[in-house]
Amino acid sequence: MLQVSILRNDTENVKKRLAVKHFKQTELVDSIIALDDERKKLQAEFDNTQSKVNAASKEIGKLMAQAQKEAAEALKADVANWKSSLEPLKEQMAKVEKELNDSLVQLPNLPSTQVPEGKTPEDNVVVRQSDVAVNLPETAVPHWDLAKKYNLIDFELGNKITGSGFPVYTGNGARLQRALIQYFLDFNTEAGYKEVLPPFMVNAASAYATGQLPDKEGQMYYMPEDDFYMIPTSEVPVTNIYRDTILKEDEFPVKMTAYSPCFRREAGSYGKDVRGLNRLHQFEKVEIVQIAHPDKSYEALDEMVLHVERLLQALELPYRILRLCGGDMSFTSAITYDFEVYSAAQERWLEVSSVSNFESYQANRLKCRFKDESGKTQLVHTLNGSSLALPRIMACLLENNQQENGIRLPAALQRYFGKEMIQ
């Protein structure tokens, strides 16, 4: 959530930055400032009336002590009138405060000045790209055929048990999933990330704090009886570890990693994008999260991008890194880098990670702050990234490493999987 002070002090620039995200309701900025003016006016009136009540109460005591009963009674009548006006003021302040907050959450985060202008994925900027040459046998097939051939994943069984988008991993497929999860966690902890195992359900306050509510409620699975949401990513519970927290400067940076299943409704998905492992309702992912000093968050972002890049290099997968344009970014992000791996069998790029800096947008909702050297309380910056999401990684590992006699795994995975080949 954006701070009102930013909207007030840099109004025209805020509107220009919102336009980069193709946000049309820029008049909302002026409305928010007007609501904040009204809130301040009501607060001043409330404080002034309360001060008069406090001062008069003391004066009444003095008057009574001086036996000036008539003057004291007159002042008591004034106090009663003033007090009667306080409750309506409180009610009006609460109403305006709610309107202000409801308006603020409608504003997306401001994109960084590094974000390119553009509206669609075609406008994203390729930052780096590895060699994409993959030598496949003439008999090469996509991963859904390989999964069936080697008894790795049973999509039909998952459909029977639950529904489309809930595959059952079997035998070496389940083993490979476990190997990837362990490898990703080890890779992250060796880089200084503390491992946590969070809950896989969160309350509404947690979903609100990281920006899933009210923007993405339609994409989350919801249990109304308990008012819980199944997590769409472990970013939500992990970042909320620091909700309502004041950090010390020497605690920066906070670096955490977590494995979790992820649950997404993916409403409106269809066609080739949902074939096999390309898009699921339940999948596994390992996440990295950083809470950083505002002056250091872009250094942290660069570090996280390099970290995910090294992980893809270790997996020997062809990849590219995209800096997303304003129109393709999420509601809460200030800047995002997407990682895509090349599927030689499908002849297409598949997204496997997003690394984002939210600056203070999430922190304002989280009320996650720190005290600087002067003792002033400031908002932290939050960042997160996939490290990595498993379905498309597994799809590309199977497809790009298939041979006539099986699937050869990259060296980095062999000790986790226990052998070189899937046959």
Q: Residue 267: its pLDDT value, please?
A: 63
Q: Is 352 annotated as a binding residue?
A: yes
Q: Residue 216: its pLDDT value, please?
A: 77
Q: Is 51 annotated as a binding residue?
A: no
Residues 6+ apart with CB under 8 A from 285: 233, 234, 259, 260, 261, 262, 386, 388, 389, 390
Sheet strands (E) in 293-334:
319-323
The SS3 of residue 300 is: helix
Q: Output phi, psi for 288, to 5 deg.
A: -120, 140
CA distance 18 to 90: 33
Give the angle subtended at the CA of 358 by the CAs of 352 and 360, to the nearest 5°. 165
69 against 222, higher pLDDT? 222
**Per-residue pLDDT reduced to its tens digit, 346-355:** 999 999 999 9
Per-domain residue ranges for the chain?
4-104, 121-422
Reported pTM: 0.93
Residues 6+ apart with CB under 8 A from 306: none
ω into 35 cis (within 30 of 0): no
Give the angle subtended at the CA of 206 by the CAs of 97 and 243, to the nearest 5°. 80
**Per-residue pLDDT reduced to its tens digit, 137-177:** 999 999 999 999 999 999 999 999 999 999 999 999 999 99
Percent pLDDT > 70 in the chain is 98
Q: Is 233 annotated as a binding residue?
A: yes
Least confident window among 30-44, 261-275, 337-351: 261-275
Q: Is 287 annotated as a binding residue?
A: yes
Q: Is 354 annotated as a binding residue?
A: yes
Q: Residue 69: its pLDDT value, please?
A: 86
- At the fourth CATH level, which superfamily is domain 4-104? Serine-tRNA synthetase, tRNA binding domain (1.10.287.40)
The SS3 of residue 342 is: strand
CA distance 243 to 362: 10
Q: Is 87 annotated as a binding residue?
A: no
Regarding the domain delimited by 121-422, which CATH topology (the fold level of the hierarchy) does it fall under? Answer: BirA Bifunctional Protein; domain 2 (3.30.930)
Residues 6+ apart with CB under 8 A from 366: 209, 210, 239, 240, 242, 243, 244, 245, 382
Sheet strands (E) in 162-203:
168-169, 194-196, 201-203
397: its two tokens: 């590992």
Consecutive H or E run containing 161: helix 155-161
**Per-residue pLDDT reduced to its tens digit, 364-414:** 999 999 998 888 999 999 999 999 999 999 999 999 999 999 999 999 999
Q: Do 392 and 350 contact (CB within 8 A), yes or no?
A: yes
Buried b (16+ CB within 10 A) or exposed e, 243-264: bebebeeeebbbbbbbbbebbb
Q: Residue 272: its pLDDT value, please?
A: 56
Q: Say yes or no to pLDDT of 271 above 60.
A: no
Nearest to 254 by CA among 194, 185, 187, 333: 194
